[in-house]
Amino acid sequence: MDNRVAWGKDMDEAVLFNGCIINQEIIFNANMNELRPLAGDGECISLNAPTARCLLLLLQNRGKVISRDEFLAAVWETRGVVVSQNTFYQNISLLRKSLVKAGLSEDIIITVRQKGFSVAPNTLVIPLSDEECENMNRARLTYYQNNKSADSISNDRQKFDPELTLPLPVNFPDQKDDVRENSVEGTEKVAERLHVTFKMPTWLILLIVVMIIINIIVLVVLRR
């Protein structure tokens, strides 16, 4: 299916592509009718063909207002299908919901009263070639598979058998903490003793020294 067709006289300057990145958040592949998240918690969304063509028409004509009649002509009537207005609006509503589910953080489809619909002017659209779309889809699939494997391993590690679970021990004091506390207390006591020693009066120290000298003299005299 080739979507590279610009419908209507006012769409001759449309930028034609089959895929693009929208706001650096999701990939739109028109060939596969798919929306894929680039990152985050978005889902891979498969669009129905008319909804995908509505999105492609809006993106290819970014900056223009597409009327309801232009949508009907480009999306359905060129394929020989006639639908009601209600079907058209249902597709637009479904498109908005799908973009959010895929990971788009804000609604990019603007309703222009009594005129139609357009893409928000601040929307970043990066066109992709068919090859780039395919490569990005493969890269995203690899990323998804790797994450699923990592999650599975993590979940397996967290699983446990309740019957094999041992009761937690009662809070016993840590011996290392006790030794450390005792060491600190001993150091503090020694410091207190030294502190007391250093506080002895000077006269008492001198008296002790004099008494020692006298004793030595007495001993020397007695030996003679």
Judge if 16 and 116 occupy the same domain: yes
60: CATH: 1.10.10.10
Judge if 13 and 95 occupy the same domain: yes
Please list the alpha-helical segments (H only) found in 127-173.
130-158
- Is 20 among the domain residues? yes
- Is 166 among the domain residues? no
pLDDT of residue 2: 44
Contact between residue 141 and residue 91 where contact means Cβ atoms under 8 Å apart: no
pTM flag (> 0.85): no
pLDDT along the chain (224 residues), means of 10: 44 72 94 89 92 96 94 95 95 96 94 95 90 68 50 46 41 48 54 51 84 87 78
What are the CA-CA distances from residue 89 to residues 17, 55, 64, 83, 217 (Å)? 24, 13, 19, 11, 123
* Distance, CA of 120 to CA of 103 (rounded, Å): 17
- Is 164 among the domain residues? no
Judge if 57 and 110 occupy the same domain: yes
* Distance, CA of 204 to CA of 202 (rounded, Å): 5
Two tokens, residue 198:
């250093």
Q: Among residues 107, 139, 171, which one ends one of the domains?
A: 139
- Is 161 among the domain residues? no
Judge if 41 and 130 occupy the same domain: yes
**Would you tell me the crossing angle of helices 49-60 and 85-102 to the nearest 10 degrees?**
80
**179 SS3 class:** helix
CA atoms within 13 A on the CB side of 138: 6
- Is 219 among the domain residues? yes
Two tokens, residue 224:
């003679």
Q: Among residues 86, 112, 139, which one ends one of the domains?
A: 139
pLDDT of residue 217: 87
Mean pLDDT across the chain = 76
Judge if 190 and 92 occupy the same domain: no
Judge if 110 and 14 occupy the same domain: yes
Judge if 133 and 190 occupy the same domain: no
Q: By residue range, what is the domain housing residue 198?
A: 183-223
Judge if 218 and 110 occupy the same domain: no
Domain count, the chain: 2
Q: Among residues 86, 105, 139, which one ends one of the domains?
A: 139
**27 SS3 class:** strand
- Is 174 among the domain residues? no
pLDDT of residue 129: 85
Please list the alpha-helical segments (H only) found in 62-201.
68-71, 85-102, 130-158, 175-198
pLDDT of residue 57: 96
- Is 114 among the domain residues? yes
- Is 188 among the domain residues? yes
